[in-house]
Amino acid sequence: MAKRKKSEWYDWIKALLIAFALAFIVRTFFFAPIVVDGPSMLPTLHDRDQMIVNKINYRFNEPNRFDIVVFHASEKKDFIKRVIGLPGEHVAVKDNLLYIDGEEVDEPFLEEQNDDGTLNVIPTNDFRLENLPGEHETIPDGHVLVLGDNRGNSTDSRLLGVIPIDSIVGKTSLIYWPINRMQMIGK
């Protein structure tokens, strides 16, 4: 009887260790939770939204325009922003319009619907890529330009310069908490 109880405890401990090891592997290499900190991605993401970061997507693919990504802004701080410019492109904003290589690009995620049903566009101060830190004429290979959706209150490429792709932790598109905001965020 004592030997049977010992075997049962051993089986439970072994199962728990395997479960913890699998959870560690999944969190480290595949998916991780993140909490949105601050208003820089309003109206798309709200402060304290909890999301899942897909860490494996960019091991096989390059970021796409308008992906929402998490990246290492410093050793201690990760930021969540939207990819706007890709390697080899020139980016500018003039009169609230985004231009990629001189062509106007629509940003529907910057439109908020007012209570009366009209659209309100979130303003973006004019800038050109060459006026940002690094003074690049085009975005260098292995880098992207990121902006927060709340352009008036966002620390992004306008202050940080272009972001190395290898500093991107992953792509995020699922809000899982709070429950009333649970949704997939698309382009």
Mind telling me the catalytic residues?
A: 40, 81
For residues 160 and 148, give the distance between their C-alpha atoms in angstroms, rounded to a whole number.
Answer: 12
In the beta sheet, which residues pair with residue 143? 164
| Size (the chain), residues | 187
DSSP assignment of 164-180: EGGGEEEEEEEEEESGG
For the chain, what is the radius of gyration of the CA atoms?
A: 21
Query: Which structure tokens are listed for 147?
Result: 């902006």
Chain centroid to CA 16: how far?
Answer: 33
